[in-house]
Structure 1
Amino acid sequence: MATRPTLPYFAPPESLPAPLPRIASILASTRFFPSYQVGSKVVHFNQYYVVKYGTRVRLQEGENMLFVRQATNIRVPTVYALFYDEKTSYNFIIQEYIPGRNLLPHWETLDESGKEAIVAQLRQYFDQLRSLPSPGYFGGVWGQRTLDLYLGSGMDASKTSDEHKPLPCATEKEWVDNMIAAGKAVDAFNKYPNLVGFFGHAFHTIFQGHRPVFSHTDLHPTNVLICDDGTVALIDWGRAGWYPSFWEYCCLMAPLGHDCDFDSWIPRFLDEYLVELGWMYKFREWILISCL
């Protein structure tokens, strides 16, 4: 089984493709990748490195990638450094730059055989994740907090500390309790206590009997890279962890715009949970009220 790294973490010097960039050079870089998270910046530093840094960056994301690299042969960026800088109060993740194209809009240029080749790789990747021995809890890797978008602080960007994220759950019932607690944190929804009670009853009825499986949970097409050699790489593991088996499929399907045929291929690499998906749509709407 994969071994948890000691933080701060630095890869052995002989494994580095070039000297690690210094903090001052990272902060001065203007080669930004798009970042949709407040308090997080992602820069392309020379031909070898991508650096993610900021107050909202969690070193647990790098630990997730190290875990996946040790436990599977999934193509993920090599992690070269994980550390906190006291002067800036930033966390830093220095990782491998993988040349490639995002799945979208590249997907729309592919014929049937090209799409089948990508989906076959994704199926093999997720079969590996599903086959990893469960630690017997629902939560972050190595017993850490759950960093999923919808739990704890939900989508409230003002709540930045990890204390708003739930600790590992021993049972799926506890996981569902955390879902309900996240919904109750939405002030606007608490005007309807009967509806909150109904959702709680429905969630505990529907969301049961699922085992914990290691999940990416942010498989947006922008986090799927098609490398120059045709292999698929998965990036942005910040929300990964040991989650109920329905969670990956539902978290991918619920926010999709359904404006291309990619969603029709998803059942070829992820098992479907259609009943759970219907209630996850409702749960997502519940949480999104906090953003209105």
Structure 2
Amino acid sequence: MQRRNERTKWLLYTLLCVAADVIDTFLSNAVSNRVPYESLQPSDVDDLSDEEIQELAKKAPRLHSKHAVFKLTPGTIAKVAQDMDEDMSDASEANALNLIFAKTTIPVPRVRRVVEFKWERDYLIVLDYIKGPTLAEVWPTYSIWQKIGVAFTLRRYIRQLRGLKASPSTPPGPIGKDGPRMCESPIFGRVRSRRGPFASYAELTSFFNKGAQLAYDFWHKFPKDHPRRETRFDDSEALVLTHQDINPRNIIVGEDGTLWMIDWAWSGYYPPWFEYVAMNCQLENEEDRGSYYKHWDLLIPFVCGPCFEQEKWLLYTMGGLQFC
């Protein structure tokens, strides 16, 4: 009975996704998608030198007490790059945002500058300041139809991200020109969320399959003929650009109602189903912190597609990943 209910749920969400994509394709052809007007305007840091930006950042107030994000000027913010690798020649979050700005119509803060931030021994990313509340702040006031509208919009964004496929030679993880980078993702678990770097898609697959076998042997103690041992990490689709931290805190509702996606620090090239699992993981983390977004859990399979089997496989694997 449970298996039948799961298949019914998967079929329902799949049909909804297909119908939504058909409607979205029709509307996209009928209406011109343009980059938000704000992103095309000059910035108030355009004429500043790198040294002047560094000095401003040292004195700028933090927007968040727990994060290195500063209100640099009236029109910009600055955040310290979160790359975990040393001696990188670029900032992966800025690379992702520049790619999205160039290749999609997803509203994201435009990267204005990337400067070496000697104070923090890292790179400082200067971004447009987007006015408006976060979706987390206004979500309780939304009607069910407004929430469905948000889901449609986010699904459109995810479809565009999945159109940004990595080449066969591109390593998984953050985008950079210096080769493979350390990956941070809720997919790897709460205890050790940073793994890699992985030189190839095959290496990422091998990492997870090894963790699965360890979990089956020592955590679940499955017999050798258990059917679960025949399942493998799903690498059937190409790596695509993935946000990995989509939650109401990281979406700003602009003054005209535009949904802006922010905080791409964990973004990179991963299997498409990572977005679904990451959204669920981040929802659990939000609830652990005391935040509750009614109906958000019901929208995730629609936004990302119902990746139920991949998530189930990963849950069986978690016990072994901590030993990899």
Normalization by structure 2: what TM-score? 0.67
Aligned to 2:314: 280
What is the distance in 1 between the residues matched to 2:230 and 2:123?
A: 36
Range with greater deviation from structure 2 (79-88 or 137-146): 137-146
How do 1:49-88 residues align onto structure 2 when only pairs under 5 Å count?
49-53=76-80, 59-86=91-118, 88=120
C-alpha spacing 1:83/1:226, structure 2 compared with 1 (3 Å): same
Q: How many residues are aligned here? A: 260
Aligned to 2:295: 261
Structure 1, unaligned runs of 5 or more? 1-13
C-alpha contact 1:150 1:284 (8 A) present in aligned 2: no
* 1:215 has 2:251 as partner: no
Letter in structure 1 aligned against 2:281: A
Aligned to 2:279: 252
* 1:44 has 2:76 as partner: no
Work out which of the residue numbers 125, 128, 132 in structure 2 matches 1:96: 128
* 1:195 has 2:219 as partner: yes
C-alpha contact 1:154 1:182 (8 A) present in aligned 2: no
Range with greater deviation from structure 2 (234-243 or 47-56): 47-56
C-alpha spacing 1:180/1:151, structure 2 compared with 1 (3 Å): farther
Give me the identity figure in percent.
Answer: 21
Letter in structure 2 aligned against 1:26: A
C-alpha spacing 1:286/1:166, structure 2 compared with 1 (3 Å): same
Aligned to 1:241: 268
Letter in structure 2 aligned against 1:276: Q
C-alpha root-mean-square deviation of aligned residues, in Å?
Answer: 3.6
What is the distance in 1 between the residues matched to 2:263 and 2:206?
A: 27
User: For residues 153-181 of structure 1, what are the alpha-carbon distances to aligned partners after superposition, in whole Å with 9 as ceiling and x for unaligned?
Assistant: 97559x8xxxx63134243xx22323467
C-alpha contact 2:81 2:125 (8 A) present in aligned 1: no
Letter in structure 1 aligned against 2:79: K
Secondary structure, counterpart of 1:256 in structure 2: helix
What is the distance in 2 between the residues matched to 1:251 and 1:153?
A: 10
Higher-Rg member (1/2): 2
How far off is 1:17 after superposition? 3.0
How far off is 1:194 after superposition? 2.5
Aligned to 2:11: none
C-alpha spacing 1:34/1:272, structure 2 compared with 1 (3 Å): farther
Aligned to 1:125: 157
C-alpha spacing 1:283/1:48, structure 2 compared with 1 (3 Å): farther
What is the distance in 2 between the residues matched to 1:166 and 1:154?
A: 18
What is the distance in 1 between the residues matched to 2:71 and 2:211?
A: 35
Structure 2, unaligned runs of 5 or more? 1-40, 86-90, 223-227
Aligned to 2:198: 167
Work out which of the residue numbers 53, 56, 77 in structure 2 matches 1:22: 53
C-alpha contact 1:166 1:178 (8 A) present in aligned 2: no
How far off is 1:127 after superposition? 1.2
How far off is 1:288 after superposition? 8.0
C-alpha spacing 1:151/1:145, structure 2 compared with 1 (3 Å): farther
What is the distance in 1 between the residues matched to 2:308 and 2:188?
A: 25
How do 1:127-146 residues align onto structure 2 when only pairs under 5 Å count?
127-136=159-168, 137=170, 139-140=172-173, 141=175, 144-145=180-181
Secondary structure, counterpart of 1:32 in structure 2: strand
What is the distance in 1 between the residues matched to 2:264 and 2:239?
A: 17
C-alpha contact 2:186 2:282 (8 A) present in aligned 1: no
Normalization by structure 1: what TM-score? 0.74
* 1:177 has 2:206 as partner: yes
Aligned to 1:3: none
Whichever structure has more helix as a proportion of its residues is: 2
Letter in structure 2 aligned against 1:167: F
Range with greater deviation from structure 2 (71-80 or 206-215): 206-215
Letter in structure 1 aligned against 2:299: W
Aligned to 2:63: 32
User: For residues 35-67 of structure 1, what are the alpha-carbon distances to aligned partners after superposition, in whole Å with 9 as ceiling and x for unaligned?
Assistant: 4xxxx5111223211111277678111111111
